[in-house]
Structure 1
Amino acid sequence: VQVQVHVGDSDGGSGRRTVTVSSREGEGEWVRNAVGELAPVGSEPVPAPLGVWPPAGAVAVPVDDAYDRLARRGYGYGPAFQGLRQVWQAGGTVYAEVELPQVIDSDAAGFGLHPALLDAALHGLLAAGAGNGNGGTELPFAWSGVRLLASDARRLRVAFASGPGGVSVTAFDGAGEPVLQVRSLALREASAGQLTGTGRQVRQSLFTVDWVPLPAPQTPDTAAVQWVRHGESGGAEVAPVVVAPVPAAPLGVPVPEVAQLAAVTVLGWVQEWLADPETDNARLVVWTQGVA
């Protein structure tokens, strides 16, 4: 999927600019996914540093099974997005504490606010049932008055206050300093069909490998196995099973280059194997080493 973000020209007066986010599959038509407006920072005051946490009178909301409960509502969060740690509620205000899971903590550098950390903050609002209350699947729909006040946070303390136009969001880092301010966030319920692609072709863009055990013979015939090193010829006769170990990568070579070299090497082996009539009744085994 290709994603395109377009920022328009300034209007010349207030300095506002339009923002559109579009996407397309392959060479298909561009589909507009989001529209917005980029504006100069206004005169709104920056939130004061956070005081007592959690605020006095806030009641703890159980979160031990929060992700199981959210899964039953249609939210499927993998390990990188399960950052919710604690939730409290006081009247119409929800308080949540989130942190980046260890699996992606090292990736936080370079982000103003890591997307997984921001997403996890919203899980507190969902876990407290502070949305529309009907148990459906709600997604962020409209953000208004968004200001990033600090960067590189790995832990957030977030306050959600319900109002007539949506929910205001104020986030602080572990030291209580303000990180993010959102004047209003509106949620909109999505149907199961919108999430799963019911009624249209579902695109499977991610693939996984299943390791399937093969039954081994009780007395393996070592004579039926032939080892071939890189650059060697298998000889005039081909054994029933030919094992070709992938050569180890040279030290210091970047991982992407190592992966490309291995893929090109193995592809060449397979193409030669399929083109050789002597291998019609034999099996090629590609042996990788040091795969983490």
Structure 2
Amino acid sequence: MFRGLRAAWRRGEELFAEVALPEEASGEAGRFGLHPALLDAAMHAGILNDTDDETAVPFAWNDVSLHAVGAAAVRVRIGRLDGRAVSLSVADVTGAPVLTVGSIASRPLSVDQFVSPSADGGALYGTEWVPTAVDASAEPAWADWTEVGEGGEDADVPGVVLLDCGVSDGSVGVPVGVRSVLDRVLGVVQEWLAGERFAGSRLVVV
């Protein structure tokens, strides 16, 4: 779907292109202001201006105006500004404006910045548990929220208060259960922040 660049031309520092969604995706164009695949393909023409080993990646967009919605095919003009910045004008096949961008600033990205997966096929991201020494004498007292928050103002507040949201018994559906848990957590947090009673304690939500 993102291979929508159909043709491209250069005139001095200007680039022109024709971009279109594939037929099977054109029916989705009306769901967006400008279909993301169409906008992405419109930017592909800018690769023609890359003259070194670095590819410019769009970073900051300024003065963006959407003039029409639902386009499935567009014509693009990319103008060179100072440095790596460009301007972008997008029109439909009749020439009516669809999108204008005053400037798009880019940052260079070289091949050397990509890191290949490890040779053993390990994941690029993972969870690593790091052991940490704990001074047992410094451990604060714990208490359950039902003993403190729901026990009234007279209940002592220890250093750490545990709010155990638990897991539902399955008698309610997931959406209802999620809303119930979020509603409870929100209420507790609002009460926690409303006064000074819990200022010296930490709330742990499980």
Q: Output the TM-score relative to the length of structure 1.
A: 0.38
Q: Deviations over 1:101-129 (max 9, x none)?
A: 12322221210000000000011111x2x
What's 1:172 paired with?
91
Q: CA separation of 1:196/1:137 partners in 2, compared to 1, >3 Å: closer, same or farther?
A: farther
Q: Sequence identity, in percent?
A: 40
Residue 202, structure 1, aligned to residue 155, structure 2: no
Which residue of 119, 123, 127 corresponds with 2:44? 123
Which residue of 1, 5, 14 corresponds with 1:93? 14
Which residue of 147, 151, 156 corresponds with 2:65? 147
For residue 187 of structure 1, report the CA deviation from its aligned partner: 1.7
Q: Which amino acid aligns with 1:99?
A: A
SS of residue matched to 2:30: coil
For residue 191 of structure 1, report the CA deviation from its aligned partner: 3.7
What's 2:31 paired with?
110
Q: CA separation of 1:202/1:102 partners in 2, compared to 1, >3 Å: closer, same or farther?
A: farther
Instruction: Work out the number of aligned pairs and report it.
Output: 122
For residue 140 of structure 1, report the CA deviation from its aligned partner: 0.9
Q: CA separation of 1:103/1:202 partners in 2, compared to 1, >3 Å: closer, same or farther?
A: farther
Q: Deviations over 1:151-181 (max 9, x none)?
A: 0001111111111161110110011100000
For residue 95 of structure 1, report the CA deviation from its aligned partner: 0.5
Q: Distance in 1 between matches of 2:117 and 2:14?
A: 36
Runs of 5+ consecutive residues of structure 1 not aligned to the other structure: 1-79, 205-292
Residue 157, structure 1, aligned to residue 66, structure 2: no
Superposition RMSD in Å: 2.4
Q: Deviations over 1:14-65 (max 9, x none)?
A: xxxxxxxxxxxxxxxxxxxxxxxxxxxxxxxxxxxxxxxxxxxxxxxxxxxx
TM alignment of 1:205-224, pairs within 5 A: none
Q: CA separation of 1:198/1:182 partners in 2, compared to 1, >3 Å: closer, same or farther?
A: farther
Q: Which amino acid aligns with 2:32?
A: F
More helix by share: 2
Q: Which amino acid aligns with 1:103?
A: E
Q: CA separation of 1:195/1:111 partners in 2, compared to 1, >3 Å: closer, same or farther?
A: farther
Q: Distance in 2 between matches of 1:195 and 1:147?
A: 33
Q: Which amino acid aligns with 1:95?
A: F
Higher relative contact order (CA 8 A, sep 6+): 2
Q: Output the TM-score relative to the length of structure 2.
A: 0.53
Q: Distance in 2 between matches of 1:196 and 1:108?
A: 35
Q: Distance in 1 between matches of 2:109 and 2:117?
A: 13
Runs of 5+ consecutive residues of structure 2 not aligned to the other structure: 127-206
- Structure 1 runs (4+) deviating above 4 angstroms are 193-201
For residue 135 of structure 1, report the CA deviation from its aligned partner: 3.3
Q: Distance in 1 between matches of 2:109 and 2:77?
A: 24
SS of residue matched to 1:138: strand
Q: CA separation of 1:186/1:109 partners in 2, compared to 1, >3 Å: closer, same or farther?
A: same
